[in-house]
Amino acid sequence: MKIVCIGGGPAGLYAALLMKKLRPEHDVTVVERNKPYDTFGWGVVFSDATLANMREWDAETAADIERAFNHWDDIELEFRGRRIRSGGHGFVGIGRKKLLNLLQARCEALGVRLVFESEAESDADFPEADLVIASDGVNSKVRRRHAEVFKPDIVTRPNRFIWLGTTKLYDAFNFSFVRTEHGWFQAHVYQFDEKTTTFIVETTETTWLAHGLDKLDSDASVAFCERLFADHLRIEAPRPASPSVPQGDLPGPAEPELRSHKLMTNARHLRGSAWLAFQHVACEHWSFFNGRSHVVLMGDAVHTAHFAIGSGTKLAIEDAIELARQFERFGHAPERIPQVLAEYEALRRVDVLRLQNAAWNAMEWFEVVGARYAETLPPEQFMYSMLTRSQRISHENLRLRDAAWLEGFERWFAERAGLELPAGSKPPPPMFTPFTLRGTRLANRVVVSPMAQYRAQDGVAGDYHLAHLGARAMGGAGLVFAEMTCPSPDARITPSCPGLWNDAQRDAWKRIVDFVHANSDARIALQLGHAGPKGSTNEPWNGRGADQPLAEANWPLLAASALPYQSGVTAVPRAMDRADMDRVRDDFVAATRRAAEAGFDWLELHCAHGYLLSSFISPLTNRRADEYGGSLANRLRWPLEVFAAMRAAWPRQRPMSVRISAHDWVEGGITPADAVEIARAFKAAGCDLIDCSSGQVSPLQKPVYGRMYQTPFADRIRNEAGIATMAVGAISEADHVNSIVAAGRADLCAVARPHLANPAWTLTEAARIGWTGIAWPKPYASGKAQMETLFAREKAARAAAPAGPAEREPV
C-alpha cells in the first residue's frame, strides 16, 4: 500500500514506523512543514502502560525512549505556604523535541520517506495514496477542508496558558498556586530530561486581562511569570512560608541575595501574545473515501485532551497502535482499508471518550479553582480535590498509590469532623465520619434518599412505612428520609401519598420516628412538598404509568402559571392568587408543627422536580407578570416566604434543608449558575443545607446521565454559595461517597436505588472496604463478623491473583 502521513507529530511518525515495520513493502511517506530535527514545545508526558504497549509493538523505539525519559511517582502541591506530597502516580516525561527526533530517526532506519519543509494543503495533494493519515494537529487543514464529513465539535476554553521551560529541576510533578490581587495563577511543572523542566502557567481569562497580559509580547510575559513564581524558581531553598497568603499585587522579585532560575520560551515564532486558549476537539466521524484515497484523522486532528491530565501524546501513540493492530487483523491490502478504519474508529472512540471525559473534568477544575476551591478548601482537602479532579481516581485507588498519605489525610479529616482518635488507631474513611448541623449529629455521611412508595391510606403512613424506613435505619445510614409528605389532600401526587394535615397522620409518623430512634443510631428526616401541576395522578404501576392523570376522582391543581406539566395529557392548573398562596403557606406551617411534634430530627422543603414551589422558581413554568414572576428574585419570592414561615415554626436546634432542581436540562430553564443564586437566597433565609437534584421540571428535558452525574451541582453550590450540600444521583458504592465527601464536593450523599435493593447498603459497603468500626444492631452481630470475613477473603484472593499490566488512571 501507498501511505501518506500528513503531519510529523507523534501520531503520524509512530503510525508510519509501525506500518513500515510490519510490512516493509509498504510505501510510507511523512510530510512535515518544519525543518528536519526541528520542532517546538517542551516536555510531554504519558503513562507507564502506553510505554508498555510501545515495547510490544516496537521494542527498539521503546528502548530509545526509556533511555531518554524522566520517570517520577510523586505529585507535590505548593499552596498557601504549604508543601504536600503524594506518591505512587507513575508518569513518564520526555522532551517533545527528543521524542520526535527519536521517532524520526527510527522512521528513517526503517525506510520511511520523511519530507520536511513541505506544507500539505489537503489530502487531495496525494491522489496516488491508498491511505492518507491526517495527523496535522489541532488546526488540521484536512479536517477543516472536510468539516461537513468529519463534523468536528470544537470548543475554545476560557482559560489562558503559556508553555514555558526552566533549568530548575524538580523531583515530582509539581503544582504551584499563587494568588494576586486579580485572581489565582497555577503552574503545572514537570522535569522531562536531565537539565530541563516544563513550566506551564495558567489563569482565567478575567485575571489574564486584568493584568494586561493580552498586551504583552512573549518576552514580557516570561518576565511576568518569573516575578510571579520567583519563590518557586529560587536556586536556594526558600524560607519557611507564612501559613497565610498575602493579599495585594504580584509577589515582588526574589530578594537580592537569592538567585532564581529563569523561565524560557521557544514560542517567539508566535506573533503577539504567547498565551494560548485550549481547544477541545471531538469529531463525529473519523474517516471517509475522497474518491481516490481513504482518509483518516489521527491524534489532535480528531481529538484533544487537556494538558491537565497529560494524555495528548498517549492518545496519539495509541491511535497509531490501534490502526496497526486492525491492519494486522484484517490484512494489509487496499481492499481491507474500509473494514480496518471502521473497526479502528469503533474501538478507539470508546477509549478516547473515556480519557477526554477525564481530561474535561480536570480542565474544568483548573478553570474554576480560584473561584471555587482555592478560597474555601484547606490545603489538605485542596490536595485531595486536585488529585481526584478527573473523577477517575477514587478514594481506594489513592490508597493503592500512597496508603500512608491517604491514612494521614483520613486522620486529618476525621479529627476535623470532631472525632478524637487514639494514637496509632486506624482513622475511619470519610463516609463514616460524623456530620453535625445545628443540634443534630449524624453518625456518618450516608443518607437514604426520599423515595416515593405510594403505600399510604388516606395520607396515613402504616406498617409498610414502618418496615421500609425501619429496615433502612437499621441498615447503617446516618440519616433516613421519609418520602415526600403532603401538607393537604390536594397537595398529593397520587391518592396513596402520605400526608401531615391531621393529627392521626402525625401520630402514625411518631410511631415510625420512635421506632427508628429506639432501634438504630440513625436520625430521621421528613420532606414536605406540594405536587402542584404534577398532582392528581395514578401510582406509577397503575393505569398508563407515572405522571398520568387519574381516570376519576381528580382534584383541582395549582401552579405558578396555568401551564400543564404535559400539554394535552395532564390537567391545566390554576395560576395561584394571593389567597391561594396564603392558604398553602399556612398548610406548610401546620404540617411543620406536626412534624416537630412527631419527633422528626430534620425537615426538608421540596422545591424541585416541577412540583408547586419548583413551578415558581423555574422560568419554564413561571410566566407570571406580577411580583412573583420575571426575575429570579421575583420567582423565589413566594418559595422563600413559605420557607421562612416554616423555619419560624420548626424548632431552632433542628436543621432544615431545601431540595432544588439545580439544572432543568432544557434551554431557557434553570442553570447551575442560577442554582448558586437560589442556594444563596435560601441560605440567607436560614436554610442549613441544599439537597442538589436536577430535572423533572419539563418533559422536554435532556439530562446527561452518568456516574455521580449530579454531584457537580452540589460541588459548585457548596463551594461558591458557602452552604452545606447533599449530593444525589447515581451514587452507588462506598468509593463514590468517600471521594465526594473527602474532596469537599458535598457534605452528605443521598443513595436511592441501592437502598431499595439492599436496606443494609451502608453496613454492606463498610464490610466491603474493610471498615469494621461501624455498629450493627446487636441481634445482627454474628452477621457482621461473617460478612466482614467473606469480603476480606475475596479481597485477599484478588490480591493474590496474577495481574497483567494495568493502566494507571490519569490524575
Catalytic residue among 611, 628, 709, 780: 611
Nine cell digits for residue 409? 489525610
Q: What are phi and psi of 77, to 5 degrees?
A: -105, 130
Active site annotation includes 705: no
Q: What are phi and psi of 113, to 5 degrees?
A: -85, 120
Angle, helices 96-110 vs 59-68, to 10°: value is: 150
Contact 613, 528 (CB under 8 A): no
CA separation, residue 5 to residues 374, 470, 483 (Å): 44, 66, 61
Among 128, 147, 131, 149, which Cα is nearest to 294's? 131
Angle formed at CA 416 by CA 747 and CA 389, multiple of 5 degrees: 50
Contact 50, 118 (CB under 8 A): no
Per DSSP, 458 falls in state: T
Q: What b/e readout covers 380-412, taking b as 16+ CB neighbours within 10 angstroms?
A: bbbbbbbbbbbbbbbbbbbbebbeebbeebbbb
Q: What are phi and psi of 571, to 5 degrees?
A: -65, 155
Task: Compute the 3-state secondary structure of the chain and give helix, strand, coil in percent, each to the nearest 5.
Answer: 40, 20, 40
DSSP E strand boundaries for 721-778: 724-728, 748-751
Per DSSP, 371 falls in state: I
Cα–Cα dist 448/526, whole Å: 12
Cα–Cα dist 803/656, whole Å: 49
Cα–Cα dist 433/527, whole Å: 24
Reported as half-sphere exposure (CB side, CA atoms, 13 A), residue 522 has a value of: 31
Among 314, 398, 392, which Cα is nearest to 358's? 392
Calculate the dihedral angle through the C-alpha atoms of 26, 27, 28, 33, rounding to the nearest 10 degrees. Answer: -170
Q: What are phi and psi of 164, to 5 degrees?
A: -120, 175
Residue 764's H or E segment, with its range, is helix 761-768
Per DSSP, 217 falls in state: -
Calculate the dihedral angle through the C-alpha atoms of 462, 467, 469, 470, rounding to the nearest 10 degrees. Answer: 120
Cα–Cα dist 460/536, whole Å: 17
Q: List active site positions.
A: 611
